[in-house]
């Protein structure tokens, strides 16, 4: 059957040149002329003539020679054109084609630009920015890079004594003429939006029926963004509960913090900065979805992404900086670590969905068993859901049904039942109006 490297045509026509061009730009392949779309050899009358014409036509249009042969099967002659992958991008006139599965696809606009950059060993973030200077970068952000790089033992302590210009030249973020790359602006500028609108991260809290409850946007130098994102995500959105061990108080989160951080780091390093889409984190009562705009490395599928693989960063200059800070590894081990962290916490592996615009990683809370436990005073039996709702109400951060649902991981319907039960057990009371009021813990001073 037709595939990434094989195409069948009953007769030769000009569109066949597009298939040859696509093979040359992708993985190479074979074009069969005189074979129908069911794979049956139909033969062609002018096979000998085509054997002479095709190589000359291809060379004149694309500057390379394919291998062209005539074969005979059941007395019918057909032509096989074998094309090797070319080292440099190849155009067919003004157009460039690639092979995507069994389809020949013409590249235009951003897709064409990205392809040409990749084939020349560059990424969009490698390009210099006109009128950008070292003075446009944040000294605080560069110093953070140096401090964390030295602390990780991946950067020499002598880096402290280097001026910022020399340091960034060493990492190819500034060229010898002093021109600053897009990567440098994105990494260290307080206003990375001067080169891309994609250098921001949005966090939103959503109800079960997908209503936005609150949101935040984090921007600025991306070397500072992951820590800022995690602080906001954990403190405001994935609210933990307190756990006392001895004389120390710990915060327990409903998701593995290390795995969430790895997903945030990956989204920061590997996102497509040439597009206008943000990285987005959507927090629901039962899950967290982290969307990273970008594409997989050329030739990769979801199977390669989630299986054992090496590291092939979309933005090598940015990845190098994050590696020096020990924020990421260079061995493609992040997904395995996220899975292990989820296993250790007793929740399912993160789910990966590779879409047209990017990759979404979904972390799900562990399902709760409807068991009964004693509350702190031992005066009432509480189900696990009631205990969770009670704990959120005691903390006083969440007030509405949606907010309590989000913070506790309990559905809105269950929150309603739990609050009713807790009122009946005289553990909480409702204060204020129906629209603007809230539940609070009932104490000895409550009437």
Domain of 309: which CATH number?
Answer: 3.30.565.60
Does some domain include residue 189? no
**pLDDT confidence bin for 304, thresholds 50/70/90:** low
**pLDDT confidence bin for 375, thresholds 50/70/90:** very low
* Per-residue confidence (pLDDT) for residue 121, from 0 to 100: 73
**pLDDT confidence bin for 83, thresholds 50/70/90:** very high
Does some domain include residue 193? no
Instruction: Indicate if 279 and 396 belong to the same structural domain.
Output: no
Does some domain include residue 194? no
Q: Among residues 53, 86, 108, which one ends one of the domains?
A: 108
Instruction: Indicate if 350 and 265 belong to the same structural domain.
Output: yes
Does some domain include residue 357? yes
Instruction: Indicate if 427 and 302 belong to the same structural domain.
Output: no
Residues 330-339 have a mean pLDDT of 78
Among the ranges given (172-186, 228-242, 302-316), the one the predictor scored with the smallest mean pLDDT:
302-316
Instruction: Indicate if 430 and 355 belong to the same structural domain.
Output: no
Q: Among residues 364, 399, 433, which one ends one of the domains?
A: 364
**Within 10 Å of residue 309's Cβ, how many Cβ atoms?**
15
Residues 14-40 have a mean pLDDT of 94
Percent of the chain with pLDDT over 70: 89
Does some domain include residue 172? no
**Is the pLDDT assigned to residue 351 strictly greater than 90?**
yes
The whole domain housing 356 covers 201-313+342-364
Residues 281-301 have a mean pLDDT of 82
Instruction: Indicate if 225 and 288 belong to the same structural domain.
Output: yes
Among the ranges given (93-102, 230-239, 324-333, 378-387), the one the predictor scored with the smallest mean pLDDT:
378-387
* Per-residue confidence (pLDDT) for residue 175, from 0 to 100: 84
Does some domain include residue 379? yes
Q: In whole angstroms, give the CA distance from residue 420 to residue 123.
A: 57
Domain CATH code at residue 419: 1.10.10.10
Contact between 115 and 99 (Cβ < 8 Å): no
**Is the pLDDT assigned to residue 242 strictly greater than 70?**
no
* Per-residue confidence (pLDDT) for residue 311, from 0 to 100: 57
* Per-residue confidence (pLDDT) for residue 369, from 0 to 100: 53
Q: CB-based contacts of 438: which residues, under 8 Å, 6+ apart? A: 399, 400, 430, 431, 432
Does some domain include residue 145? no
Q: In whole angstroms, give the CA distance from residue 184 to residue 75.
A: 64
Instruction: Indicate if 253 and 357 belong to the same structural domain.
Output: yes
**Is the pLDDT assigned to residue 74 strictly greater than 60?**
yes
Instruction: Indicate if 257 and 355 belong to the same structural domain.
Output: yes
Average pLDDT, the chain: 86
**Is the pLDDT assigned to residue 284 strictly greater than 90?**
yes
Percent of the chain with pLDDT over 90: 47
**Is the pLDDT assigned to residue 446 strictly greater than 90?**
no
The DSSP letter of residue 85 is: P
Number of separate domains in the chain:
3
Residues counted in the chain: 447
CA atoms lying within 13 Å on the CB side of residue 87? 0
Does some domain include residue 142? no
Q: Among residues 78, 108, 138, which one ends one of the domains?
A: 108
Residues 422-428 have a mean pLDDT of 86
The DSSP letter of residue 251 is: E
Q: Which of 266, 269, 261, 262 is nearest to 317 (CA)?
A: 269
Residues 329-339 have a mean pLDDT of 78
Instruction: Indicate if 352 and 407 belong to the same structural domain.
Output: no
* Per-residue confidence (pLDDT) for residue 378, from 0 to 100: 46
329 against 444, higher pLDDT: 329
Instruction: Indicate if 350 and 419 belong to the same structural domain.
Output: no
377 against 284, higher pLDDT: 284
Q: In whole angstroms, give the CA distance from residue 23 to residue 253.
A: 50
**Is the pLDDT assigned to residue 3 strictly greater than 60?**
yes
Residues 251-272 have a mean pLDDT of 90
Q: CB-based contacts of 439: which residues, under 8 Å, 6+ apart? A: 393, 399, 419, 422, 423, 428, 429, 430, 431
Among the ranges given (36-50, 154-168, 281-295, 366-380), the one the predictor scored with the smallest mean pLDDT:
366-380
Instruction: Indicate if 283 and 208 belong to the same structural domain.
Output: yes
447 against 422, higher pLDDT: 422
Q: In whole angstroms, give the CA distance from residue 122 to residue 33.
A: 36
**Is the pLDDT assigned to residue 23 strictly greater than 90?**
yes
**Is the pLDDT assigned to residue 297 strictly greater than 80?**
no
Instruction: Indicate if 66 and 37 belong to the same structural domain.
Output: yes
Instruction: Indicate if 347 and 397 belong to the same structural domain.
Output: no
Residues 178-194 have a mean pLDDT of 90
Model confidence pLDDT, tens digit, residues 141-169? 999 999 999 999 998 888 877 899 999 99
Largest CA-CA distance found in the chain, in angstroms, rounded: 101
The token pair at 167 is: 């340091």
Domain CATH code at residue 18: 3.30.950.30
């Amino acid at each position: 059957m037709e595939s990434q490297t094989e195409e069948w045509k009953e007769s030769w026509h000009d569109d066949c040149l597009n298939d040859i061009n696509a093979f040359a730009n992708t993985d190479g392949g074979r074009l069969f002329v005189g074979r129908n779309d069911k794979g049956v050899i139909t033969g062609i009358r002018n096979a000998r003539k085509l054997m002479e014409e095709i190589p000359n036509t291809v060379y004149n249009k694309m500057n390379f020679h394919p291998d062209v042969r005539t074969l005979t099967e059941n007395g019918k002659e057909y032509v096989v054109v074998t094309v090797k992958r070319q080292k440099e991008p190849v155009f067919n006139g003004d157009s460039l084609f690639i092979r995507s599965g069994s389809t020949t696809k013409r590249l235009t606009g951003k897709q064409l630009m990205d392809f040409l950059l990749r084939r020349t060993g560059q990424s969009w973030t490698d390009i210099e920015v006109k009128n950008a200077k070292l003075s446009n970068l944040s000294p605080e952000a560069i110093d953070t890079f140096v401090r964390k790089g030295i602390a990780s033992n991946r950067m020499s302590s002598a880096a402290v004594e280097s001026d910022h210009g020399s340091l960034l030249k060493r990492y190819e973020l500034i060229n010898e003429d002093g021109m600053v790359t897009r990567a440098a602006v994105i990494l260290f500028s307080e206003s990375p939006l001067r080169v891309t609108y994609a250098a921001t991260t949005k966090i939103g809290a959503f109800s079960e029926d997908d209503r936005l409850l609150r949101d935040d946007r984090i921007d600025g130098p991306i070397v500072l963004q992951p820590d800022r994102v995690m602080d906001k995500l954990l403190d405001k959105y994935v609210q933990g509960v307190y756990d006392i061990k001895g004389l120390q108080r710990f915060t327990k989160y409903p998701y593995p913090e290390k795995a969430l951080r790895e997903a945030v780091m990956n989204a920061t390093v590997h996102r497509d900065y040439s597009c206008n889409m943000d990285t987005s984190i959507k927090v629901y009562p039962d899950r967290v979805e982290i969307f990273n705009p970008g594409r997989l490395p050329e030739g990769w599928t979801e199977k390669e992404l989630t299986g054992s693989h090496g590291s092939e960063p979309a933005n090598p200059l940015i990845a190098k900086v994050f590696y020096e800070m020990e924020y990421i590894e260079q061995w493609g081990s992040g997904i395995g670590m996220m899975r292990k962290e989820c296993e250790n916490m007793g929740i399912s592996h993160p789910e990966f969905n590779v879409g047209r615009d990017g990759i979404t990683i979904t972390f799900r809370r562990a399902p709760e068993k409807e068991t009964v436990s004693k509350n702190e005073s031992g005066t009432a039996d509480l189900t696990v859901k009631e205990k969770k709702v009670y704990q959120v109400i005691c903390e006083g951060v969440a007030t509405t049904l949606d907010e309590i649902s989000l913070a506790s991981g309990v559905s809105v319907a269950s929150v309603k039942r739990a609050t009713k039960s807790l009122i009946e057990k005289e553990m909480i009371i409702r204060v204020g109006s129906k629209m603007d009021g809230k539940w609070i813990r009932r104490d000895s001073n409550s009437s």
